[in-house]
A and B are shown apart, each in its own frame.
Chain A
Amino acid sequence: MTAVVASQDRSPGKLGLDRDDRTVRWLIVAFALFFLTALLIPLYMLISRSLFNRQGDFTGLANYREYFETPALFQSIQNSFTVAGISTAIVIVLAFAYAYALNRTCMRFKGFFKVMAMVPLLSPSLLKAIALVYWFGKQGVLSELLFGHSIYGPIGIVMASVFWTFPHAVLLIGTALALSDIRLYEAAEALKTSHTRVFFTITLPGARYGIISSIIVVFILILTDFGVPKVIGGNYNVMATDIYKEVIGQQNFEMGAVVSVVLLIPAVIAFAIDRIVTRKQVAQLSARAVPYAPKPNRLLDNTMLGYCLVITVLTLAILGMAQYASLVKFWPYNLELTLEHFSFEIEGAGWENFYNSLKVAVTVSLVGTFVILLGAYVVEKPRRDSIPRQAIQMVALMPMAVPGLVLGLAYLMFINHPSNPLGFLYGTITIIVLSTITHFYTVTHLTATTALKQMDREFEAVSASLKVPLTRSFWRVTVPVCMPAIFDISIYLFLNSMTTVSAVIFLYGPGTKTASVAAIHLDDSGETAAAAAMAMLIVYACIAVRVVHAIITGWLLHRVQAWRRR
């Protein structure tokens, strides 16, 4: 009771702080510093740089005027939106049918097709572009199918974009289709509604938020993607490649900043719409809904089986061609198989790129998961509401709206600023890790928050009443209970760190170039086979880690966490 007596003269109006409140307060300070350094200051520097000229004088919107008056640059905006629009339309239709087959039919081999849909996630987007060049390029296997059109340009960008964004769309639409109340369908059946009418009045409206959400996400992914247009875009310029050319080619940071801001605007708008839409989807389904269970329908099931097979074959054709490209001695003149492309005896490329990628991916996966879980905990769990906590939640949602290339350029300006004490980090693994964690922060943060939300709201109250410190409850209860989400986050971070190009391409230094960036450079210098080999190394690592991850997850969830079994 000593504490009680000591508190007598505490000033009224505010609850006293205990150890847990102080812990949370320190964490909030730490996260505020993290987001300032890792996101807000760099972004601020990028945006302000677009308002200065090369000599460092403030020129207001002069750069923007110049940008919109340069026909070549202005054309890129139109190009970006055209390819993103067409690719999105195609991907959504294809992915909806695929997700429908997985969630709403009694098609056989669903498990297999679920896995196959995710295969493109295991490789960088540029790998799809390289494979397409082998299929449809000047010396490609099926070039005739393009009727004289070149794969380099919009056609190639659209095809490659469709391939690499397909799994994202299937995941998002699939989630929306999985959430459905069977009683709506039973009611429709009782009212003798035709199948077509059921589809258009129940199925589509039910999934509309998922569809809108996936349209937005896919559109932004393609609009801001750099790897695909870099490899297969040819002379067809898009905004992402413009940023790269301005900064790397012409050292024109100011114009790079202008294009970045122009690219940032649609991304921010789209992301804001997506957040509103997502919130609606959650509210749509009541807790009492009875999940939909499809009934067998031979015609539908077999048609869908055929469709999914075609998609799977196409997916494998891309991966297979990349594999083949990495093994063929000299396409298309010498088709002998060889491993020599994997020796990378080329200036500026080598196995060390692959090791760097592994280093980055492992660090991001370990450190990032911990940071993200902790951040979500600070936002979600403390009992006291505070403005700083809500601010952290808002900032945590921002990275999703920032294209990787823009983030990378912002980091570059931040780290190279003469008065930045962190300047020594330039070109280190640390800065690559930091940018990658920030780049993929939002999705993982949302996964972590969802997992924490599913825990009993009163755990913290119970712990406090039992005088158990927050830190102990965190390790003893929160972490074990959130283990599945933690695994999901760590694998997501690993795969994305391995395959990402955009932010890293501005940040690597001598000795820290990653495999995906090296693949871009190899392709750039005409070493396409070596580029394919480098990209395949990433694929091997991703597959290996995915398999090991599945085994460990299965083992941990079924052996160690016996309490999950009822």
Chain B
Amino acid sequence: MRASTDADANAFLQLDGVSKAFGDFHALVDVNFTIAEGEFICFLGPSGCGKTTLLRCIAGLETQSEGRIRMGGADISWLPTSERDFGIVFQSYALFPNLTVSDNVAYGLVNKRMAKPAIKARVAELLSLVDLSEHISKYPGQLSGGEQQRVALARALATSPGLLLLDEPLSALDAKVRAHLRREIRAIQDRLGVTTIMVTHDQEEAQTMADRIFVMNEGRIEQLGTPDEIYNAPATPFVADFIGVMNFFTATVAEGGGVVRGDLTLACETGGHGEGTELNCAVRPEDIRLIDRDGDDGANIIEATVDSIEFLGSFVRLYLALPALGAGELRADVRKEQAQHLDIAVGGTVRLRIPPATIRLYEAGPPR
């Protein structure tokens, strides 16, 4: 379905029906969205989902096979890269190794016929923005990965572009540097208010940085929403599975509500699905509550055998066997203290409760 090609007055960036095919391979399929000025957007998805291709289409580094791209009200669909208004940062930094930090940052400024003192002042301003003022005359090879990426960011921002594109900027860095740079990039973006699109396959990165996340799969946008919406109300099984950890099992809608599978009956909101419909049920491990052997008698109380235990720091993950689901099919996360308190051991039985509100139902079919 092709969306309307009318320009949305409030949109800074608008894509209408953008598709991209490489021969028989469909890298992008009918992508539509609008982005408001100043937003921080993440394209999130597994490798090969089309997120980088989408970014490159916006940059003009790839040409869409179909569809339109508008920016600031103007149609830029067929503009060459050099005539579009954006700055870009790549995973590989792509810093010019033979130029100093300051020459790298000034690279785009020199071309704007700015006076030398003005360039110098702008470079100093940008380097203090990314906290690298003391490295101004070093070469990229003398800097750490994180520092190099900050130089690349300063270089991309130097010409004050309307749009900042970040192509997996943190993927090549150590975990600690990555966490630090996340906050730093987001702070800079807040300060400058520049509309930003970041491509990443790291859901934690997307969740901590983005205003809105566009979850992509097989060339399509599966869901666009705030980090909270994406996590708590995943629109499709793919999103539910890709973001965080999720238990999936199929069941049919029971007589008088709830779902049933074998001897297991679970109460939950079945929406408009008719009795006997096969559905995909999804429950997050942290939503499953372990209760004392003589605990309360709410809905959805089940007994299960512990197959194995995984120690994950502040909590443990139990792999549970239920007659209706099979061995190790159900995962439940339990805080460390509670696990000790309940004296959980491999081979033992546990009592657990799945709150009806935490069960999400999707049309049957395995998650893509």
Contact = CB atoms under 8 A, between A and B. Distances in A.
Contact of B111 (A7, A472, A565): A472
**Size class of A's contact patch?**
35 or more
Contacts of B59: 461, 465
A460 to B, nearest CB: 9
Given A461-B59, A563-B97, A563-B139, A4 B74 contact: yes
Nearest to A470: B82
Nearest to A10: B78
B271 to A, nearest CB: 42
B142 A566 contact: yes
B96 interface: yes
Contact of A480 (B71, B83, B98): B98
Contacts of B112: 467
Interface in B37-93: 59-61, 63, 71-72, 74-88, 90, 92-93
Contacts of A17: 80
A459 B96 contact: yes
Interface string A453-481: 00011110111111111001000110011
Given A459-B94, A465-B81, A465-B87, A566 B61 contact: no
Max count, chain A CB within 10 A of own CB: residue among B72, B98, B158, B159: B98
Contact of A4 (B76, B81, B141): B76
Contact of A461 (B77, B85, B88): B88
Contacts of A16: 78-80, 83
Given A15-B60, A458-B94, A4 B108 contact: no
Interface in A1-32: 1, 3-5, 7-8, 10-21
Max count, chain A CB within 10 A of own CB: residue among B71, B75, B161: B75
B63 A15 contact: yes
B78 A462 contact: no
A469 B83 CA distance: 11
Contacts of A461: 59, 61, 81, 88, 90, 94
B231 interface: no
B141 A566 contact: yes
A131 B79 CA distance: 66
Contact of B83 (A11, A14, A18, A476): A18
Given A8-B75, A477-B99, A458 B81 contact: no
A1 B139 contact: no
B141 A466 contact: no
Given A456-B92, A476-B99, A7 B82 contact: no
Contacts of B140: 563
B307 to A, nearest CB: 36
Interface of B, secondary structure class, is: loop
Contacts of B139: 562-563
A463 B142 CA distance: 22
A3 B83 contact: yes
Contacts of B220: none
B78 A7 contact: yes
A472 B113 CA distance: 14
Contacts of A195: none
Contacts of B75: 7-8
B72 A462 contact: no
A17 B60 CA distance: 11
B249 interface: no
B210 interface: no
Contacts of B60: 15, 464
A462 B81 contact: no
Contacts of B83: 3-4, 7, 16, 18
B82 A467 contact: yes
B253 interface: no
A465 B92 contact: no
Contacts of B84: 4, 465
A468 B107 contact: yes
A416 interface: no
Nearest to B75: A8
A161 B128 CA distance: 64
Max count, chain B CB within 10 A of own CB: residue among A7, A11, A383, A465: A465
Max count, chain A CB within 10 A of own CB: residue among B78, B140, B159, B161: B78
A561 interface: yes
A465 B78 CA distance: 15
Interface of B: 59-61, 63, 71-72, 74-88, 90, 92-94, 96-100, 107-108, 110-112, 139-142, 155-156, 158-159, 161
5 contacts: A4-B76, A7-B79, A21-B80, A466-B159, A481-B97
